[in-house]
Amino acid sequence: MRTQLATSSRHHGHPPQSVSSPSPHLVRRVGPLDRAALHLGLALIKWGRRPLAVDLREQTASYAETHEARLERERIHAEYLAQSLNQFR
């Protein structure tokens, strides 16, 4: 099946060319309410990303529990491997 698509008659210049009729660009200033909302939003983002003070004793206890759990998991895995190897003897 041969289908020919119509091509666009408009020319797309790269980089885009400005409009031929000179018209001043309207600049829209930001109002005080918008500016206050922006500052409030940024303050909330900064506050939400603040570093949390972690108690050193809690962090040490958490590390010890994690380490013990990891050792237990490795021990159970080693037992499982030993049992699975003994099945084929």
Q: Where are the alpha helices (DSSP H) in 1-89?
A: 32-48, 56-87
| pLDDT by residue, tens only, the chain of 89 residues | 577 766 666 666 677 666 565 556 777 788 999 999 999 999 999 999 988 777 778 888 889 899 999 999 999 999 999 888 877 76
d(CA 83, CA 70): 20
d(CA 14, CA 62): 59
pTM tops 0.85, yes or no:
no
- 20 sits in the region (left: phi over 0; alpha: psi -120 to 50; else beta) called alpha
